[in-house]
Amino acid sequence: MSEHRANHDTRERILDVAERLFMENGYEATSMRLITGAAEVNLAAVNYHFGSKEALLREVFRRRLEWLNRERLAALDRLEQQAAGGPLKPSQILEAFFGTLLRMGEDESLGGMTFLRLLGRTLTEPAEFIRTFFAGEYEQVIDRYKLALFRALPDVPRAEIVWRLHFMLGAMSYAIAGTDVLQVVTGCGLRDLAGEGSAEGEPGDNVVARRLARRLMPFLLGGLRAPLPQPDDTSGQTQHRTPPAKR
């Protein structure tokens, strides 16, 4: 019982607890005392190991995004290599980008649905240090996937692709956040996405993530390949291309 903890034990436990509490309450509403209390470590431990509360949040994300970024780039590498210079199919690109993320929700050692929910909820946080952090973490990956989509959809204006990537990220972000504020899903008797209070018979997180992936992916693909909008007079930029999108 009265064993002393290993050096890195405290660090890891703080990260795990902070990940969960930041997800449940948000960054601002989660105090250091709440984190250290739940982690059963001293209040000063956070500042000792991480330097500040901001740095703690960054580290919570860094340890997960490191894996995610590497895996996303590797998935794209594999696809491009097997395509031998040709363009990829949009479905392949989306599978590599979103599928890799959603697979984290099935793996508890990668953060599971806790991290996915945290990510989705944090992507809309307005705090400056959060936004600059994410911008830096994501820059490389986003750029590579943008280029892949440009090549995969050569007939679609690039600005349009960028916008649709933005929309897809939004749908995914909101879906994995899983708050369902409007009770669209949870108000229907389907409790798939509800995160809190697992009664008996509730599906495990890995099942939740898999169901979500299976339903989200066709939606995203349908949105990406939807007919292009009509050009609008009030807009400065004009696009003369006719939509080749298929259904």
Partner DNA sequence: CTAAGATTAAAACGAACGTTTGAACGAGTC
Partner DNA sequence: GACTCGTTCAAACGTTCGTTTTAATCTTAG
CA distances from 121 to 21, 125, 148 (A): 12, 7, 27
Which C-beta is closer to its own copies: that of 45 or that of 54?
54
Q: What is the DSSP letter of 152?
A: H
Residue 167 touching its own copies (CB under 8 A): yes
Length of the chain in terms of residues written: 247
Which C-beta is closer to DNA: that of 43 or that of 74?
43
Stretch that binds DNA, among 42-50, 98-106, 145-153, 186-194 (CB under 7 A): 42-50
Residue 24 touching its own copies (CB under 8 A): yes
Write the interaction track for DNA spanning residues 43-72; mark x where CB under 7 A is met and - where it is not. xxxxxxx--xxx------------------
Tell whether the torsion through CA atoms of 237, 241, 246 and 247 is positive or negative.
positive
Write the interaction track for DNA spanning residues 77-96; mark x where CB under 7 A is met and - where it is not. --------------------
Q: Is 110 exposed, middle or buried (0-12, 13-18, 19+ CB in 10 A)?
A: middle
CA distances from 207 to 106, 162, 190, 196, 221 (A): 7, 31, 14, 15, 22
For residues 206 and 106, the answer to whether their CB atoms sit within 8 Å is yes
Cβ 50 to its own copies shortest distance, Å: 20
User: Greatest CA span in the chain, whole angstroms?
Assistant: 74
Within 61-120, the residues that bind its own copies by CB under 8 A are 120
CA atoms of 231 and 242, how far apart (whole Å): 10
Which C-beta is closer to DNA: that of 34 or that of 245?
34
Stretch that binds its own copies, among 2-10, 70-78, 81-89, 223-231 (CB under 8 A): 223-231
Residue 162 touching its own copies (CB under 8 A): yes
Which C-beta is closer to DNA: that of 36 or that of 92?
36
| Cα angle 12-205-181, degrees, rounded to a multiple of 5 | 100
Question: Which member of 151, 174, 194, 202 binds its own copies (CB under 8 A)?
Answer: 174
Within 185-214, the residues that bind its own copies by CB under 8 A are 185, 187-190, 193, 203, 207, 210-211, 214
Which parts of this chain interact with DNA (CB under 7 A)? 1-7, 9-10, 30-34, 41-49, 52-54
